[in-house]
Structure 1
Amino acid sequence: MSLKVRMFDIFKHLETDEDIQGFLQEVVSTGDTSDFIHALNIAAKAKGMSEVVRRAGVTRATLYNSLSEDGNPRFETISKIVNALGCKLAVI
């Protein structure tokens, strides 16, 4: 009997702004900077890259480059993406 294994794509399970917010909060509390950038990429896929580009006011290339594995986004870009995802950055 063979076991079928499928990749778990979390972005398919982030259906609401609240789901995205909870996901990003968890990553911020348990991960590092690169984990957060990766989480933003996942959240942007869940929201829809075109929607995030439109809301953030950045180009598609900027979004993809900033959130790539080798990306090094400026704080301003991160802030725009977070806002486009329906979230806010906060220091508590």
Structure 2
Amino acid sequence: MTFDPVDYLDDEEAVTAYLDTAIQRDDVEVFLDALDDVARAYGMGKIANEVDVHRVSLYKSLSKQGNPSFATVKKVLSALGFIVPTSSNLRCSQASVKPLNLMAGSCGLFSPIFMFPFSICTA
């Protein structure tokens, strides 16, 4: 039997820790692989519908041979409940924003991949 991380991405905490670990690896391919795993865990068809792309296109985009645009990555993160904070979307109260960078325990740390702090807004 082959190990598939999707089998273990069954709650918000596991997903957040998994993406956080991938971001800390400072390797875009590792992060995109993790994002693909999370999208598969949530349901690629459901995510594709939410980001308004065909399911097959999203599979290809997030695959090892894919090269998704930043817009696609941002839309997928948004469909999963994550936000890339900007000055215009920081209206979530600090109490309702959980940092994606849980390992470091700080909301203000920057992702080495995109240079944005990733967070999930629970408001």
Q: 1:53 touches 1:60 (CA, 8 Å); kept in 2? A: yes
> Which one has a larger percent strand, Structure 1 or Structure 2?
2
Which residue, 6, 10, 15 being the options, matches 2:10? 15
Q: TM-score, normalised by structure 1?
A: 0.83
Which structure has more RCO (C-alpha within 8 Å, separation ≥ 6)?
1
Q: Which residue of 1 aligns with 2:105?
A: none
Which residue, 50, 53, 67 being the options, matches 1:58? 53
Output the CA distance in 2 between the equivalents of 1:27 and 1:35. 6
Q: 1:21 touches 1:87 (CA, 8 Å); kept in 2? A: no
The offset of 1:89, in angstroms, is 2.8
Stretches (4+) displaced over 4 A:
none
1:29 paired to 2:28: no
> What's the Cα RMSD here?
1.5
Q: Which residue of 2 aligns with 1:69?
A: 64
Number of residues of Structure 1 aligned to a counterpart in Structure 2: 87
Identity of aligned residues (%): 33
Measured against aligned partners, the alpha-carbon deviations of 1:28-62 in whole angstroms (never above 9, x if no partner) come to 01240011111111111111111111222222122
Q: TM-score, normalised by structure 2?
A: 0.64
